Amino acid sequence: MFPISRIFPTAILALSLAACSAVQVGQDFDVRTFEAKVERGASTRDQVRGWLGAPASTGVNVDTGGERFEEWVYYFASGRLSDTSAMRVKMLQIKFDQQGIVRGYNWSASDR
């Protein structure tokens, strides 16, 4: 058994180092390239997958008129845990109709 007086300082040091480390969540993607290539009403799921890779998540979006869309979500965040105000975050949501055609998309990003 290790005495608590030896374990506690080691745990504090490990947590302190982790707080200073860089964090990255998701896979980075270029929204501007996507916007330059995508054609609403013409681009397909396969094309989007070719440009951006596999989505981070998928789901269903039902609009106010009851129409159902498949929704793909891409996200990326990076920064330091010690300074979350400098985090860089972006997210892209793409809606596909039942035939797999892009019907709309929404993206947002931090200003950093």
Q: What is the CATH number of the domain that holds 71?
A: 3.30.1450
- What is the extent of the structural domain holding 80? 22-109
User: Going by C-beta distance under 8 Å and a sequence separation of 6 or more, which residues neighbour residue 28?
Assistant: 76, 78
Amino acid 62: pLDDT = 94
Amino acid 4: pLDDT = 45
Residue 19's pLDDT band (cuts 50, 70, 90): low
pTM: 0.74
Residue 1 lies inside a defined structural domain of this protein = no
Residue 6 lies inside a defined structural domain of this protein = no
Residue 12 lies inside a defined structural domain of this protein = no
Residue 104 lies inside a defined structural domain of this protein = yes
Amino acid 112: pLDDT = 52
How many folded domains does the chain comprise?
A: 1
Instruction: Tell me: pLDDT of 105 over 90.
Output: yes
pLDDT digits (tens, 9 = 90+) for 58-81: 999 999 999 999 999 999 988 877
In angstroms, the CA 8 to CA 20 distance is 19
In angstroms, the CA 50 to CA 24 distance is 22
In angstroms, the CA 27 to CA 11 distance is 30
In angstroms, the CA 52 to CA 105 distance is 14
DSSP 3: -
